[in-house]
Amino acid sequence: MADLPARLAALTQARIGLPRAGQTLNTAASLAFDLAHAQARDAVHAVFDTSALQAAFDLIEVHSAAPDRATYLQRPDLGRQLPAKEAARLVPTGADTAIVVGDGLSATAVARHGVPLIRALLPRIGGVLAPVVAAHQARVALGDAIGAALGVDIVVMLIGERPGLSAPDSLGAYITWQPRPGRQDSERNCVSNIRPPHGLDHETAATRIAWLVQQARALRLTGVALKDESSVTARISQAATPA
């Protein structure tokens, strides 16, 4: 038995008009919730499988200072640090732009969108590109240490966002001018909710990221002073900060 006129449920993605058994949810509604939560949990704990990235691109892999998922979740500071032995594998090659793929809080998002998004970015982004870097147990700010080690002017961090119950595979892109450890979130620009077919598609996202990268090169900065006029939400909001 549902209490709400059925057509009202179509007005929002919120879980309204749910069928009841007595005063609580019926079996179908209860299990539907469990499934959504299971998918979000699997996304958080999914292992970052880099084989598709390896097959597609010239790839270097690094690990943050967080040794495992449990530590990563409790110590965001470790997920932002690049140990010296990892940094040693990244050497300046004369490139000015780096693309980093980090698992963040959803390796599922990276698995779904990493390769096609980078393929869409490559013809648009310009500059001299460093090899793609795959970063394990990564927070957004790990890109600063990676970018600094590579000696680039711009790092584009593609990273799995915190999964919502109905959105386990959302990818975010963070663009940082002159990356180095200690950069603040207010010094980055962000394109979030890359998640076709429900969120941004890969082509649109790549166009917006490339626009921000080109603006960053022209203005020699990123962050709140770089207003996104490609009609995308550029500033990082607290609620949407993934990692």
Partner 1 sequence: MATPGSGGAGLMPYTQDLGGTRHSFADLRGVLAAASPHRSGDVLAGVAATSAEQRVAARLVLADLPLTTFLADLVVPYEADEVTRLIIDSHDTQAFAAIAHLTVGGLRDWLLAADGDAISALAPGLTPEMVAGVSKIMRNQDLIAVARKIRVITRFRGTIGLPGRLSVRLQPNHPTDDPAGIAAAILDGLLLGSGDAVIGINPAGDNVSAAHILLQLLDELRQAYAIPTQSCVLTHVTNTLQLIERGAPVDLCFQSIGGTEGTNRGFGIDLALLAEAQAATLALGRGTLGQDVMYFETGQGSALSAGAHHGVDQQTLEARAYAVARAFRPLLVNSVVGFIGPEYLYDGKQILRAALEDHCCGKLLGLPMGLDICYTNHAEADQNDMDGILTLAGVAGVNFIMGVPGADDIMLNYQSTSFHDALYLRDVLGLRPAPEFEAWLLESGITDAAGRLSSSPARLALPALLDG
Q: Which stretch binds partner 1 (CB under 8 A): 28-36, 50-58, 128-136, 211-219?
A: 28-36
Choose among 101, 57, 65, 103: nearest CA to 83: 65
- Using CB under 8 A as the binding rule, whether residue 8 contacts partner 1 is answered as yes
**Cβ distance 188 to 235 under 8 Å?**
no
* Using rule CB under 8 A, residue 25 touches partner 1: yes
The reply on whether position 12 binds partner 1 by CB under 8 A is yes
Q: How far is the CB of 110 from partner 1 (least distance, A)?
A: 15
Can you tell me which of 59, 63, 75, 95 binds partner 1, judged by CB under 8 A?
Answer: 75
The mark string for 123-162 relative to partner 1 (x by CB under 8 A, - otherwise) is: ---------------------------------------x
CA distances from 151 to 53, 57, 209 (A): 22, 20, 20
| Torsions phi, psi for 190 (to 5 deg) | -135, 140
Shortest distance (Å) from residue 193 CB to partner 1: 10
Our CB check for partner 1 shows the closer of 11 and 84 to be 11
Q: How far is the CB of 216 from partner 1 (least distance, A)?
A: 25
75 burial level (CB within 10 Å; 0-12, 13-18, 19+): middle
Residues 161-180 contacting partner 1, CB under 8 A: 162-168
Give yes or no for residue 43 binding partner 1 (CB under 8 A).
yes
| Shortest reach from residue 4's CB to partner 1, in Å | 5
Is position 27 an interface residue for partner 1 (rule: CB under 8 A)? no
Q: Does 36 sit near partner 1 (CB under 8 A)?
A: yes
Q: Which pairing describes strands 132-136 and 97-102: parallel, antiparallel, or unpaired? A: parallel
Kindly tell me which residue out of 31, 37, 83, 220 binds partner 1, with binding defined by CB under 8 A.
Answer: 37
Burial class (CB in 10 A: 0-12, 13-18, 19+), 68: exposed
Q: Verify binding: residue 41, partner 1, rule CB under 8 A.
A: yes
Cα 99 to Cα 28: distance, rounded to the nearest angstrom: 43
Helix orientation angle between 107-125 and 27-45, rounded to the nearest 10 degrees: 60
Burial (CB < 10 A; 0-12, 13-18, 19+), residue 220, is: exposed
- Which residues here bind partner 1, judged by CB under 8 A? 1-5, 7-9, 11-18, 20, 23-25, 29, 33-34, 36-37, 40-41, 43-44, 73-77, 105, 162-168, 239
